[in-house]
Amino acid sequence: MTGTLIETEDRREYKATRRRDLAVDLSMALATILAALAIGFVVMLVTGNDPVEAYGAMLTGPLERSFRVGRWLEDATTLTLLGLSVAIPFRARQISLGAESQLYAGALAAAAVAIFLPLPPVVAVVVPLVASAVAGAGMGLIPGSMKARLGANEIVATLMLNAIVVRVYDYLVNGPLKEPGSSAVHSKSIQQDSALTPLRDWFGIPLGRANVGLLLMVLTAVALWLLITRTPLGYRIRMTGSNPEFAEYGGIRVPRVIEWSFVIGGAVAGLAGAHLVQGVYGRLEPGLAGSLAFEGIVVALLARNNPLVVVVAGLFYSYLRAGGDIMEQQTDVGTEIVVVIQAVIVLLVTAQALPDLLKRRLARKQVAAR
């Protein structure tokens, strides 16, 4: 049994074990990516494509031109915010799939303020951001309360809410909010002062639509990490997620904690909506988020719901997405192969027993050597 093993270790041995476990985790992550790439390699060979050329385009493409870097960072910002938004409820062991509804609610709120409310500079950026966070939080509170107080299943509640909010959004963009006189379906553009400053203005090189939202995303991740590790609420979220019966026994009001986890996650997803409106498109467009809401879940899973790791996972996952697009443009290989690679990575990562197996084997070897 590994249990009695740890107990008998002294502190130095224990620290060494922990370092070794970390090394195992990191090398497993690397091995996972390599394995996924290898499988993609085989698939391309079998389908009669040139894998070397395709991988060349995919893996180096996003860095080749500055505007491609911008595309990657812009995508990573939204994706990471969405990953963060589900990582918090996940920490409380709540399967929230509501990022989509929260994002669209946030986008609507941000756009409403940024299009219609004349505000002085700086304030014009901040108020829509706050509005989006509040709208997203509200959209999180609904399924959160239904789960915590009424015993509704949070998976069903969030999915149904997604269905409703997306339809409402489509209606508004196609109807009341559609720019008059425009043949394409989109809203009026936001006011200049409400736009998130493009990174191009800072670095003087074309970086596409990447904007200060990137910085905002990193700050959000750090703030959430502090929330989880350094606040009483974060402690309650962790304990509720780890063992809700223990949390209740300890005097934690579990329903309230569940609600908070949804509200915080919702606010972050709302910010993702604001990023799309104020930073990327400058207006409301149909299908604003694409499939990003669900890929956010994958990113959170990859990062095991650690907010700081979500940033890394988000950057990595977006890189694959951006690379896949370039590969499709430059070679005959479609983006499907990227989907295959992503899926293999997710499958391997969710097989969490694998690294644990390896750690246990290493531990046993160490004991035998003693």
Interface with another protein by CB under 8 A: which residues? 2-4, 6-11, 13-15, 229-232, 234-236, 238-239, 242-243, 245-253
Q: Which of 200, 173, 205, 168 is CA-nearest to residue 187?
A: 173
Give the three-class secondary structure for 198. Answer: strand
* CB closer to another protein out of 165 and 309: 309
Neighbours of 216 (CB within 10 A): 18
Structure-block tokens of residue 142: 């609904």
* CB closer to another protein out of 132 and 240: 240
Q: How far is the CB of 267 from another protein (least distance, A)?
A: 18
Structure-block tokens of residue 158: 């969030």
* CB closer to another protein out of 249 and 368: 249
Q: How far is the CB of 360 from another protein (least distance, A)?
A: 12
Q: How far is the CB of 19 from another protein (least distance, A)?
A: 13
* CB closer to another protein out of 34 and 357: 357
Who's near 129: CB < 8 A, 6+ residues apart?
Answer: 110, 216, 271, 274, 278
* CB closer to another protein out of 209 and 236: 236
With contact defined as beta carbons under 8 Å apart, do 262 and 96 qualify? yes
Q: How far is the CB of 245 from another protein (least distance, A)?
A: 4
Complete DSSP assignment for 140-177? HHHHHHHHHHH---HHHHHHHHHHHHHHHHHHHHHTTT
Q: How far is the CB of 89 from another protein (least distance, A)?
A: 18
Cβ-in-10-Å burial (0-12, 13-18, 19+) of 45 comes to exposed
Residue 20 — φ and ψ, nearest 5°? -65, -40
* CB closer to another protein out of 250 and 287: 250
- Show the CA angle centred on residue 335, arms to residues 327 and 87, nearest 5°: 110
Q: How far is the CB of 251 from another protein (least distance, A)?
A: 3
Q: How far is the CB of 301 from another protein (least distance, A)?
A: 17
* CB closer to another protein out of 13 and 193: 13
* CB closer to another protein out of 48 and 251: 251
Q: Interhelix angle for 292-302 vs 336-350, to 10°? A: 40
Q: How far is the CB of 352 from another protein (least distance, A)?
A: 12
Structure-block tokens of residue 295: 């890929």
Q: Which residues pair with 187 in a beta bridge?
A: 178
* CB closer to another protein out of 6 and 23: 6
Say how far apart CA 103 and CA 99 lie, in whole Å: 6
Say how far apart CA 146 and CA 98 lie, in whole Å: 13
Q: How far is the CB of 15 from another protein (least distance, A)?
A: 8
Say how far apart CA 221 and CA 217 lie, in whole Å: 6
